[in-house]
Structure 1
Amino acid sequence: MNSKIVVKLTNLVGYTASISTILLWIIFVWVNPYGPGMEKTSAFITFMMLVLPAVIFGTGLMLERSMILLAAYIWSFPYSIYMVVTPGVFMLFGMTSFIYFICFMMYRFRGVKY
């Protein structure tokens, strides 16, 4: 497979995971049928643990820096694993975090060091 195709595919999958995380968070905070009593602090914590890593991950893709991708993955991993055990569509946070790791590995295999 051509290297440019792999790069474009990796970027497409990574950007899709980042955007999906942000969209899932919006649904989680404003449309969540499982959390009618969610407090403002919960929205803030989930923003810090899910949305900010997604934005940082997208930035890492733009800059082609594998360490930024790894940092975003490590940052989002604990809360994403917690979300895997929640009901409904929110278990997809775990999948988007796993995709962060896959994209990081693709960048490393491609030879992007830092």
Structure 2
Amino acid sequence: MQKAAKYIGVISGLATITLWAVLNFFNPHSNITGTDTIVISFLMLFLPACLAVISSLTSKQSLMMIAFVWSLPFSLYLVFTPGVFALFGVTCIAYLGCFLLMKLSTNRKI
């Protein structure tokens, strides 16, 4: 179960980073000249995704929960948008699933 948690965490983190790049640099509806959107989405999506990848690789449960809670508000906002960016909600829920798998695997070891 620990390997599954590791794979889910890394894949969801990398998927979020990829979606973030598409949202900010390849989205025809985004404002390229404004940096406010890039900075806010960097803080609310990119950094928690990096934290989720680090958490998965180091098996730190608390960091995964922090990544989930940190990215939840912005991910919920994007879930209600039409298009591919609703997948941010899926990756955020994957953080929670990864946390639960990590928690279950440590409880079974005890």
Q: Tell whether the structures are fold-level matches, with TM greater than 0.5.
A: yes
Contact 2:13 2:50 in 1 (8 A): yes
Distance 2:94 2:16 in 1: 11
Q: CA deviation at 1:37?
A: 5.8
Aligned length: 107
Q: CA deviation at 1:10?
A: 1.7
Identical columns (%): 32
The verdict on how the C-alpha distance between 1:21 and 1:38 changes in structure 2, with shifts beyond 3 A counting, is farther
Q: Which residue of 2 aligns with 1:88?
A: 83
Q: CA deviation at 1:31?
A: 1.0
Structure 1: gaps spanning 5 or more residues: 1-5
Give 1:73-112 correspondences, 5 Å limit. Answer: 73-111=68-106
TM-score where L is the length of structure 1: 0.88
Distance 1:90 1:35 in 2: 12
TM-score where L is the length of structure 2: 0.91
Distance 2:52 2:8 in 1: 12
C-alpha RMSD of the superposition = 1.4
Greater RCO between the two (CA within 8 Å, min separation 6)?
A: 2
Divergent runs of 4+, >4 A:
none
Distance 1:88 1:60 in 2: 29
Distance 2:98 2:15 in 1: 15
Structure 2: gaps spanning 5 or more residues: none
